[in-house]
Structure 1
């Protein structure tokens, strides 16, 4: 697929070497039960902040691991945060940043994406293709990724070194900042770049639509990117970020987790939070069955060092 609406581009040289695939780590110790989360919410709509704070806290009660949550609804001027600046290994969540960097760089040099770049970008987001991500990461180089992060105001995100893009350090504050740039007019990303990112996030394969879309009403458009990674320390990292618009609301949700004993445990934690957020924002709307997550989510394991 060639994207030539207003994204001007030339091919960039590849740099740096990619990491090697690490085997699945067996027997990672489950994290101990988390302490009661301190969710903080504010809202321009009476009663909504207190309801969200209570319901998110209840959804996380007794869950093991470390969970971070970010919510912003432009329509009601509502925000919720939990562990907003806690750092996590990114896993495949960083792929949205890689795409944004590619488009930001294209804008700077007034070029179109090549058909090759568009194909890689599509595979990276819609299928979470790791080889495509490594190719684009090498092409851009860490210097350009850092340049985008600075322009985007994502000051606490640290790109993974040695080609290990899956070990980029991310946090809820910066992920919410990125989603905000994708969903509203700004000087960092062009309107066509934003539309392109949303188009790809809206076409994620069915087996990867779990996470933040869980419980989203049929009236709401959904754009999502998930990621997961198992390591010897802190068990499974499982993350989901999404943008949602409809039913009188325009909101973004980020949920990052680690210390999960299994991948599905992390998925369940994220979906418990997502369901109460969608319900509290749009209480009268039934959830769309098309966003029911698969019981067997699939994604290739990303390149990380052993351990």
Structure 2
């Protein structure tokens, strides 16, 4: 399903993105800079010379609403700086785990390629939970190869184990995914999905409220943090240092010669834990697709730049 990855290309994000981020910070500022004033208690002593409200009446106090940020609009502006080649499509989503705020850009569904392997493992773990058992040694070996090395033979065995598309769709329904449909037969890489659904699945893995038990979530996170050296690209381009866990997918289409290139995962940036999903198709080469995905990931993370990072 996948061919060996090529040498990572530089992201296509231009200097204009820096201006977008600065503009976004100027327009919205940090959350602390616009902190709403606390309500004035009706029991507070009146200022000298002021009259107290009549008995039985409460002082009228107008609450100051905290300004809200249109994250979708901020992401749309950031994506203007991303060079999307003619004929290519890209969709991206980002979610801040602490606040639950999210933003998405781009419409339509995309082939998953190998990012569906996270779904396959999540569905396998959910089935094992329902059966009150742990994964077998063989299942664990296949899971590790499938996620860490993107091994297709392992993915095909586990695809059959979960009941192929029907089993995947049933698990995804429980995970709250609404726009993902399993591929026909053994074509798991042609599962269709959206960036918003990728964020929903990532939240099942990295969030606390999940159909997956804590041990299952930790297992998936561990494997996504051990991706083979040659696959350290994609959403990791938006992380601070090595603070990332991901799964990439790449698929050349025989009919057109064009590429599907995707990346999903968790990144640490500016003290925030962010879930990022980027889907693309119509890329002329894998390298160009990687550059597009990485630029979109950087743009997505910039949505929260300038905000106060959550305190410990």
CA contact (8 A) 2:181 2:192 kept: yes
Out of 206, 219, 222, the residue aligned to residue 229 of structure 2 is: 206
SS in 2 for 1:103: helix
CA contact (8 A) 2:95 2:101 kept: yes
Query: Which whole-Å deviations, capped at 9, do the CAs of 1:19-73 have from their partners, x for residues lacking one?
Result: xx7999xxxxxxxxxxxxxxxx9x9947684654322221245664011111111
Out of 161, 168, 171, the residue aligned to residue 145 of structure 1 is: 168
Q: Would the alpha carbon gap of residues 281 and 112 (structure 1) be closer, same or farther in structure 2, given more than 3 Å must change? A: same
Q: 1:171 deviation in Å?
A: 1.2
- Between the aligned partners of 1:192 and 1:228, the Cα distance in structure 2 is 29
Correspondence for 1:69: 92
- Between the aligned partners of 1:23 and 1:253, the Cα distance in structure 2 is 24
Out of 189, 198, 219, the residue aligned to residue 166 of structure 1 is: 189
Correspondence for 2:155: 133
Out of 258, 274, 279, the residue aligned to residue 256 of structure 1 is: 279
- Between the aligned partners of 2:193 and 2:290, the Cα distance in structure 1 is 18
Q: Would the alpha carbon gap of residues 132 and 184 (structure 1) be closer, same or farther in structure 2, given more than 3 Å must change? A: same
Q: 1:89 deviation in Å?
A: 1.4
CA contact (8 A) 1:69 1:81 kept: yes
CA contact (8 A) 1:228 1:263 kept: yes
Q: 1:174 deviation in Å?
A: 1.1
- Between the aligned partners of 2:268 and 2:70, the Cα distance in structure 1 is 18
RMSD over aligned CA atoms reads 2.7
Asked whether 1:120 is paired with 2:145, we answer: no
Correspondence for 2:116: 94
- Pairing 1:1-307 to 2, within 5 Å after superposition: 45=31, 49=71, 51-60=74-83, 64-84=87-107, 86-142=108-164, 143-218=166-241, 221-231=243-253, 232-233=255-256, 235-245=258-268, 247-279=270-302, 281=304
- Between the aligned partners of 1:22 and 1:186, the Cα distance in structure 2 is 33
CA contact (8 A) 2:245 2:266 kept: yes
Normalising by structure 2, we get a TM-score of 0.71
CA contact (8 A) 1:125 1:204 kept: yes
Q: Would the alpha carbon gap of residues 280 and 152 (structure 1) be closer, same or farther in structure 2, given more than 3 Å must change? A: closer
Normalising by structure 1, we get a TM-score of 0.72
- Between the aligned partners of 1:192 and 1:95, the Cα distance in structure 2 is 18
CA contact (8 A) 2:93 2:300 kept: no
- Between the aligned partners of 1:55 and 1:82, the Cα distance in structure 2 is 10
Q: Would the alpha carbon gap of residues 270 and 155 (structure 1) be closer, same or farther in structure 2, given more than 3 Å must change? A: same
CA contact (8 A) 2:238 2:269 kept: no
Structure of higher CA gyration radius: 2
Q: 1:139 deviation in Å?
A: 1.7
Question: Which runs of 5 or more structure 1 residues have no equivalent in the other structure?
Answer: 1-20, 25-40, 285-307
Question: Which runs of 5 or more structure 2 residues have no equivalent in the other structure?
Answer: 5-23, 32-67, 308-312
CA contact (8 A) 2:85 2:283 kept: no
Q: 1:78 deviation in Å?
A: 3.5
CA contact (8 A) 2:264 2:276 kept: yes
Question: More deviation in 187-196 or 231-240?
Answer: 231-240
SS in 2 for 1:255: strand
